[in-house]
Structure 1
């Protein structure tokens, strides 16, 4: 019986958190479940649509973007509703991931060695959990910006909240909303660039898995924890 288990080409071991190591050649590690990946792409799609519809009103030179959505009136109508979708979609991700993005001492050490990160010298970096300090910064930055956007968006959504705030406050809300939108756009670009720059990362959100080598190199503490759980499951 033991020989059959050792000789099996593929064996899947589940962890309590839903992550798993798939023992095969090469070793694959499940990083995101299907629900999480769907949630991520809805959030990303909403973000892109919001940026396009929002920038259409950001400056007159960008008004041509409204033609992508059927004209100015249609774009003005759908923009806030996409914002509502983004808020609840990101809320779903927040509930799943907030505890994994809490800062710790490893993040401080990682941030001190930013040069090594940029040079790809990861052997000098501390072993990391599922997310590094850069990913956590993007996560909390996105979370804060989306809260500001939904709050200021409601203030300037005259169709449904005409008397929520005074006109002077609404004018300030418009400026804050636009500035925050620009900030979240930069965070979004940083997120996309980092995903492309770190080879193998996009696979995690398209297929749900990463290779064992990728996990060991970039998130070694997380990989070790999964390996320990797997060993415990096999022993049981």
Structure 2
């Protein structure tokens, strides 16, 4: 018999089951992006301040770091673009997200029963997604301007200096955003599993992304379909 997911609580039905959340290609894409961002951060910090110059040892010295850092940026742009293509449609803002932000104190306290039912991503995840997309685009564009090996002399010295300043400022913002992303993933118990094993428990899905869970259950019924 089909389940009326709109009127019936699906929690008892999925509490001890696992729900697929990310397929293998998405997980590999995510970790390639994460590793590349980490390498980009380390090599960038090595060039940013003399006190961090010792990090260049991991990249073959100063000249090696200067040579490889921009290429990490190219790989990051390509990898994140693939993530963007897969997930942008799940990250549009809606009224539930606005309400989630208004009740951020309930989120921090873990009192999620008073929050609106959420789809695949909450407001915080959507903010991180769109900000990271913006930051990576700015970093790539400013990075091209200051990539002397290939683009030396195409802009004025003043423009080059401005690009370097913007590049550094946005890089710091992106690093801080990544720290928030990692912390949130660890703080919300069970989230890391979705990007390592590709699934989450039914109880986790019910607590944090109830609207998404209802759609997944509906799609699992005969004749049903899922939207991802």
So what's the TM-score if we normalise by structure 2?
0.91
Q: Residue deviations 1:30-69, cap 9 Å, x none?
A: 0000000000000000000000000001111111110111
Tell me the residue number matched to 1:203.
193
1:166 aligns with 2:156: yes
Aligned partner (choices 52, 66, 70) of residue 62 of structure 1:
52
In 1, distance between residues paired with 2:170 and 2:45? 12
In 2, distance between residues paired with 1:41 and 1:66? 23
Which piece of structure 1 moves more, 225-234 or 83-92?
225-234
So what's the TM-score if we normalise by structure 1?
0.88
- Find the residue that maps to 1:57 and give its secondary structure: helix
In 2, distance between residues paired with 1:95 and 1:69? 31
- Find the residue that maps to 2:200 and give its secondary structure: strand
Aligned partner (choices 120, 124, 128) of residue 114 of structure 2:
124
Structure 1 outlier segments of 4+, above 3 Å: none
Q: Residue deviations 1:168-204, cap 9 Å, x none?
A: 1000000000000000000000000000000000000
Unpaired runs of 5+ residues, structure 2, are 2-12
In 2, distance between residues paired with 1:204 and 1:28? 10
1:75 aligns with 2:65: yes
Of structures 1 and 2, the one with the larger relative CO (CA 8 A, separation 6+) is: 2
Q: CA deviation at 1:25?
A: 8.3
Tell me the residue number matched to 1:92.
82
In 1, distance between residues paired with 2:129 and 2:91? 7
Aligned partner (choices 190, 213, 233) of residue 223 of structure 2:
233
Alignment check: 8 A CA contact 2:70 2:147 kept: yes
Aligned partner (choices 93, 101, 106) of residue 111 of structure 1:
101
Q: Residue deviations 1:52-90, cap 9 Å, x none?
A: 000001111111110111100001100000000000000
In 2, distance between residues paired with 1:109 and 1:24? 26
Tell me the residue number matched to 1:10.
none
Unpaired runs of 5+ residues, structure 1, are 3-22
